[in-house]
Amino acid sequence: MSSPAYQQMAADLRAAIGNGTYPAGSTLPKITDLAQQYGVAKQTAREALAQLEAEGLVDIIRRRGTVVRARPVRRRLTRGRQVHRDARGYFFDAAAQPWTALEPPTITWAPAPHDIAALLQLADDARQDVLVRDRLMGDPATQTPLQLATSYLPASLARGTRLAHKDTGPGGIYDLLESMGHTPLSWEEAVSARMPTPTECEQLHLPKGVPLLRITRTTTSPDGTVLEVNDTRMSADTFEIGYTLTRHPSAQRP
């Protein structure tokens, strides 16, 4: 069974973009010209271009046309298996160490998303009311937004404490958690990806079709109690996760 005409057309244009026939910054032919070239209706040509836009390959710009999107060189975030510390407190990526909050954090009490509630090990009744701390992080010199970082903390831990204040004091929430007796903290991370919400697109200035790179970090106390889940999101077009590979004893040359 053959694919719909718009998908076949999109595949042909996708290949032409990939092989450089249409380089970054160039403009694809007009819809009327594409329709004539491929022998399809103009609506079919529109659907093909919309498919390419949804994939992040082109931008459809009014009065300019369909422009091939430039692919930025990704910045490497090296996630070593170490936690660092500076004058501001703990941090988890040397490349992101200079970044700061571009605006005051947003503090709310709200239900935890299902995947976050599972990581927090919350019962159904407890997930309805967790502390949510949202921060927009970026380059302090250019004010360029680079990542969204959202912390979720159980109400049983956070309510009535400084954890719910905008300013949690020197060292942030992790120093505060340790001062509350949960020391030493430990962390685990998982890396995944998903498509952004409209709000995330606006906050991070994401064009259409660009997924989010997502790092989910779980903070636990020495007794294994989950104290916080941090959900960090950034442009997968701008960043990639890197790490060093080392040889296992089984991989040594004889």
pTM of the model: 0.76
Q: CA-to-CA distance for 95 and 79, rounded, in angstroms?
A: 9
- Identify the pLDDT of residue 204: 96
What pLDDT score was predicted for residue 126? 63
| CA atoms within a 13 Å half-sphere pointing along the CA-CB vector of 232 | 21
The answer, yes or no, to whether residue 17 has pLDDT greater than 80, is yes
What mean pLDDT comes out for the span 56-61? 86
**94-134 pLDDT, tens per residue?**
888 899 999 999 999 998 888 898 899 987 766 678 999 99
pLDDT band at 88 (very low <50, low <70, confident <90, very high): confident
Mean pLDDT across 40-56:
89
pLDDT at position 66 over 70:
yes
Quick one: 34 exposed, middle or buried, by C-beta within 10 A (0-12, 13-18, 19+)?
buried
- Structural domains in the chain, CATH included, are 5-68 (1.10.10.10), 75-241 (3.40.1410.10)
Model pLDDT, residue 81: 65
SS3 labels along the chain: CCCCHHHHHHHHHHHHHHCCCCCCCCECCCHHHHHHHHCCCHHHHHHHHHHHHHCCCEEEECCCEEEECCCCCCEEEECCCCCEEECCEEECCHHHCCCEECCCCEEEEECCCHHHHHHHCCCCCHHHCEEEEEEEEEECCCCEEEEEEEEEEEHHHHCCCHHHCCCCCCCHHHHHHHHCCCCCCEEEEEEEEECCCHHHHHHHCCCCCCCEEEEEEEEECCCCCEEEEEEEEEECCCEEEECCCCCCHHHCCC
| Region 76-102 average pLDDT | 81
pLDDT on residue 1: 57
Confidence of residue 71 (pLDDT cuts 50, 70, 90): confident
Q: Would the pLDDT of 78 be above 70?
A: no
Instruction: Please say whether the beta carbons of 14 and 55 come within 8 A.
Output: yes
Q: What is the pLDDT of residue 132?
A: 96
129-144 average pLDDT score: 95
Strand partners, 109: 131
Digit-coded pLDDT (tens) for 183-237: 999 999 999 999 998 899 999 999 888 999 999 999 999 999 999 999 999 999 8
